[in-house]
Chains A and B, each alone.
Chain A
Amino acid sequence: METLRKFEKVWEIIDQNGRDSSRLIPILQAVQAEYRYLPEEILTFIATSVGISPARVFGVATFYSLFTLKPKGKYHIRVCNGTACHVKRSMDLHNALQKKLNLRDEKDTTDDMLFTLETVNCLGACGLAPAMVVNEEVYGQLTPERANEIIDDIINAEAHNEQDTHRL
């Protein structure tokens, strides 16, 4: 009943926000926290519930860079490209990871849905430039090699989990 729980959650979120169109952004944030992205049909549902046009909801959802209408990978990598990180060659990190994960600017998620790679303007960890964040975990003073190692660790851990599930 995972989906029921999730759908109940959408109701709950909309109700908690008083079916109020001015609460659209908190609603979208909460829904994205639940689904990890904003599914189209849920956006239509939200529009109907708060009484605004779906086009307006779509407009808001596509304006803010933290909202995503496509499912993201299990591990969401964001390489900081704030000034401090940029000066410390953060784009080298980004390019190295792109190459490693076989991604391009137009394609930011791996086919196995394990990784999504993006840049972010500033994480506020400027003292530790260059930095990147994987889901909630922040890594600082990185080199392309170190970044690749972090990814390798995740891939290995995932492979282990996979094996464990099979064994079970």
Chain B
Amino acid sequence: MNKTLIGFNKIKTDYIAWENAVPHRVLVCAGTGCLVNGSMKVYEEFVKTIKEANLNVIVELKDEEGDVFVSKTGCQGFCQIGPLVTILPEGIFYTRVKPKDVKDIVETTIKKGDILHRLLYIEPNMLKVCKETSEIPFYQKQRRFVLGNCGMTDPEDIREYIARDGYVSAARACKDMSPEDICRTILASGIRGRGGGGFLTGKKWDMARQQPGDKKYIICNGDEGDPGAFMDMGIMEGNPHSIIEGMIIASRAIHADEGYIYVRAEYPLAVKRIRKAIKDAYTLGILGKRILSSDHTFNLQVMEGAGAFVCGEETALIASIEGKRGMPSPKPPFPSQSGLWGKPTVINNVETLSTIPLILSVGVNKFREMGTENSPGTKTFAITGHVLNTGLIEMPLGSTLRDMIYGVAGGITSDDGKPMADGFKAAQIGGPSGGCLTKEHLDLPIDFDSVKEAGAMVGSGGLVIMNKNTCIVSVARFFMQFTQSESCGKCVLCREGTKQMLVLLDDIIEGRATEETLKILEDLATAVQKGSLCGLGKTAPNPVLSTLNNFRDEYEAHVKYKYCPTGKCKALTKFTIDENLCKGCMLCAKKCPVNAITGERKQVHRIDPIICIRCGACIESCTFGAIKGEKL
């Protein structure tokens, strides 16, 4: 046994011994979601309260002296009901914990070992009280593999990562495996890039490995820009060492001695935790020269993004690291041939890299037991929108949309958050680059190939669920506006094409469109999809094309009959006052900016459709629900 492993073993045995000696551990979720809800105050309150209760509190595990060990963890995924607190060893899972609740928890649970029922999670569909995460459907139906340690460990403590067998895979890769071995293993695992395209990671590595030259780079793409997706943020905040370990393995596989983690600047906490993790890894000889007692050298640094979605595209990301405008360049040459500073470069997504050490530790066969033949493993998703439970989840690839929506997310809700049976309309998968899936796709296995066949893409894993009251044209417009404002402006099709698509969608929503408009929109979308320079441009029309494909009727209603079936497009709505409901309170008349509403006090009011500009202010003002939008 060599020096490093002896060192690691000591860290591990010490840590576990100390951990076992402390009777209680309190895990306070310190992911972005819970922090927003004030979990830091909860954490501080725990430290203070435990001290005041004359118990010996420790916040960093250094020896066996202590009664309660209080830790901050990464995101546990169920941000909606945060701040989340878990009490070990019982595994009691408290939700919506406020600082004022801390005293109760210390008195009841830590001191007496009793459960504080008012803080437990109540499953809203069955009204079942859940003591542990294993009883909660949101967690039950998931397979938390990559996210396994997220939320259960302190991401800022490298010793805890090592204690959970961290860096063992990296040490093995650096000492006992040849670069060919590593590439072969990763290829055999069948893992595909979790960032978007779903390219075989092993193949990507092997291509870079075979490139001549002694200078190569490995880059971790943490520029997670899809609005509504925060899977990578969860991993970067919750388990930063797993990314570093994945990068070490990748660097060994392709002979790279330098790496970058490119993190989106909007994630300050992720940047902070990764920087700390890198620093700690250097201290223990996990990064730097002759790492992990092998002859492999690997240096790693963080580069913060500066606010450009397009930098998620490989060549744009490289340009950004080189200090340039983040504009993509044509491929070929591919980064694996000529990337950063013209050297062979592998760019992998956060989740992919985080999965790598696990593949080496559980073995290829075990890994392939999860997921499907061509899409093995698990995938994280950020499920949001009109569902009961929103948050960060992880599923085996090949799970169905139904599993996710009705199993994990607890079903569809109405706009005001109430359960809505049979309310499902569509799911936008893959963010602004993805497409929409409908009812007929509910039992489609969600894997890279099936989703692509259905005209969408797994992408990085954003999953927005929409209920029946959602206007699909407006949804397409929202995504189009996003890609349009994030287009880098380099190639004509994306720059001008997305701008004109937005104009056409506005025409449809605002009642100026003709049937010709739909034809132009479709032609243009197809041209942008086929002809744009980079992945962002090529996928920008997907939301339009897939909604046109799946909800053509709804588009046609807007165009032919100037009618929005959901009533969401105000310009296509005629506002009327229900005579039976109007109390003549005059509020709407006051709110109307153009004085289109007339009527005496206590008399039914009327809206003059010629003056009305359909702003909807009256609907919002009416407390009796008397004003309705109707088909024009």
Interface of A with B (CB < 8 Å)?
A: 20-26, 28-29, 59-60, 63-67, 81-87, 120-129, 131, 136, 138-140
Contacts and interface: CB of A to CB of B under 8 A. Distances in A.
Contacts of A66: 265, 305-307
Given A59-B325, A63-B326, A121-B309, A83 B80 contact: no
Interface string B15-47: 000000000000000001101110000000000
Contacts of A29: 265, 304, 306
Contacts of B37: 128, 140
A119 to B, nearest CB: 10
B227 A87 contact: no
A66 B32 CA distance: 20
Given A64-B308, A67-B306, A121 B225 contact: yes
Most buried by A among B225, B268, B384, B462: B384
Contacts of A63: 308, 325-327, 488
Given A63-B326, A125-B36, A127-B80, A26 B304 contact: yes
Contacts of A59: 325
Contact of A87 (B268, B323, B464, B486): B464
A29 B486 CA distance: 20
A84 to B, nearest CB: 4
Contacts of B228: 82-85, 122, 126
Nearest to B464: A83
10 contacts: A22-B322, A29-B304, A83-B384, A83-B478, A86-B227, A86-B478, A124-B230, A127-B33, A127-B80, A128-B80
Nearest to B489: A63
B158 to A, nearest CB: 24
B560 to A, nearest CB: 27
Place the interface of chain B in its size category: 35 or more
Given A67-B306, A83-B462, A84-B464, A124 B32 contact: yes
A23 B325 CA distance: 12
B290 to A, nearest CB: 25
Nearest to A24: B323
Interface stretch (B183-191, B367-375, B385-393, B551-559): B385-393
Most buried by B among A84, A122, A127, A129: A127
B387 to A, nearest CB: 11
B230 A126 contact: yes
B382 interface: yes
Given A66-B265, A84-B384, A136-B268, A121 B482 contact: yes
Nearest to A62: B325
Nearest to B228: A83
A122 B322 contact: no
B401 to A, nearest CB: 17
B77 to A, nearest CB: 8
Nearest to B324: A60
B149 to A, nearest CB: 19
B266 interface: yes
B355 interface: no
Interface string B291-323: 000000000000111111100000000001111
B229 interface: yes
B236 to A, nearest CB: 10
B282 interface: no
Contacts of B32: 123-125, 138
Contacts of B391: 127
Nearest to B431: A83
A60 B390 contact: no
A129 B229 CA distance: 12
Contacts of B80: 127-128
B54 to A, nearest CB: 34
- Nearest 8 CB-CB pairs, A to B? A127-B79, A83-B228, A64-B306, A82-B227, A66-B307, A24-B323, A65-B307, A84-B384
